[in-house]
Structure 1
Amino acid sequence: MNPISEPILTSGFPLGSSAGLVTAFEWLGQPYRLTRVDMLGEMRTDAYKRLNGRVETPVLITGEGRVLTETMAIALWLEARDPDRRISFEPGTPKADRLHQYVAFLNTGFTGAFFPMWVALEAEDATEEYRETLRKLGRSLVATRHEQLEAMIGDSDYLLGDRPTLADAVFAGVARWVDFHKAVDPRHYPRILALRKRIEADPAFCFAVAIEDGKPAAGSGAMKGLVPLADVLRKASSALAA
């Protein structure tokens, strides 16, 4: 594999939360590359486990070859490379603190609320009674987190004003899970629903979803190409061994 100076982000499918970070990369507008990862197959291999032992996406391979995992860490990496503050705010300001608060909440409590439902879906040997218990718990947790987020959202178009930020990107990658799991009725949370509709119509998010689905797509031009997962795993193995 030839050296690549652009960072490479794994985009998990189906319905990976990493679609939010792809959206953030598009909004940022700096060069990057993507690799698609089948979370039901490729992600569970020993080769991928050497990249991320927790068997998760997203993973970022920096231009220097370092491996960075966890959505919050990658979001902060993007923030540090946003001198024009297209998706973030000046460090140390109240708005920057608020941004971090939103990203942390969305990446922990809001995302974690769906965990029982994913377990119910993926637990092959579970009884239907156990699956329904998990789904019921998940619906309760998702409803609570939606109530909390609905109360946090103000009257602006986006979470932190009149333009989208990292917080909106992290939100968008996960919020669509409500439809897949039929966790709550989105109409009960009008501010969340309005925000979803606004971001899901954004060209950057549409591009992220098309890439996730393996469909041809035209983004901002910042994405410089898809990299085969096998190449990414070789690049990461070399970096980890160095």
Structure 2
Amino acid sequence: MEPILFYGVPQGCSLGSIIALEWLGEPYRLSRIEMLEHPWPAAFARINPLNLTPAYLTAERHIVNESSAILLHLAARRNNLLGYAQGTPEYDRLNRMLAYLNTEFFSAFRPLWIACEMAANPPVQEMLRNLGNPRVQQACAYLDGLLAEREWIDGGSKRTVADAYFAAIARWAEYHQVLDVRQHPHLSRHLQKLRTDPAVIFADAIERQIEAKSGGRFRGHVTLDEVEPMLA
């Protein structure tokens, strides 16, 4: 069977890996994980003992966990279509940007995600939002400054896995109602460009379970029950 990406919903950062797979143009399948349903299926712990998405099962049946590792794995395929050769300055530049997105930018939203789970405790919820909102504002301002002089987020001349990941997590600023991204015109421009991309439209439709047309080589969904025998 083709490689399988296990993606989380709703609003999972794994959206970036779906976008990258579409851009890559190699056959793949998806397996949907409802992150708000507890407990998670026991079989998933064999894929990622931390019960986190995304996770990626390669065609050779190796498991790759963590967004940055999955994205760099995909970036190296098809003669570095979505990345650069390791050891080059371009690779280091991409890796640096992906690391920033996966640490500083992602973590800025963490208090806001925790706040979503604190509806029964409004004072704590407000405290968390007050903690997270300035961090998101600061991170968006930083990326806006970079994008003022860049066509693609890593500073190169082509789209990369970093753009796919950016599309997945930059949307959280609006989801959490932290800001109107139009306050940051260069960030807003780049996000809107990505939102019109067929791969991004497809990934969003997959996440929302509406009709989706793949421009890549998506081969359908599989269940964890179907995958489990492959993990032996």
CA offset digits 1:7-56 (Å, max 9, x no partner): 10012111111111111111111111111111111673433233222221
1:1-242 equivalent positions in 2, closer than 5 A: 4=1, 6-41=2-37, 44-83=40-79, 85-123=80-118, 127-159=121-153, 160-236=155-231, 238=232
CA offset digits 1:49-103 (Å, max 9, x no partner): 33222221100011121221101110121122231x3211232222211111111
Counterpart-to-counterpart distance in 2, 1:215 and 1:75: 25
Aligned length: 231
CA contact (8 A) 1:37 1:43 kept: no
* Identity level (%): 38
CA offset digits 1:146-198 (Å, max 9, x no partner): 12222222433321344311110111111111111011231221111111000
1:132–1:178 distance in 2 versus 1, CA, 3 Å? same
CA contact (8 A) 2:43 2:224 kept: no
Range with bigger deviation, 215-224 or 20-29: 215-224
| TM-score, length of structure 1 as denominator length | 0.89
* Higher-RCO chain (CA-CA 8 Å, sequence separation at least 6): 1
Range with bigger deviation, 88-97 or 40-49: 40-49
Counterpart-to-counterpart distance in 2, 1:165 and 1:144: 24
Moved over 4 A (4+): none
| TM-score, length of structure 2 as denominator length | 0.92
User: Unaligned 5+ residue runs, structure 1?
Assistant: none
User: Unaligned 5+ residue runs, structure 2?
Assistant: none
Counterpart-to-counterpart distance in 1, 2:55 and 2:182: 33
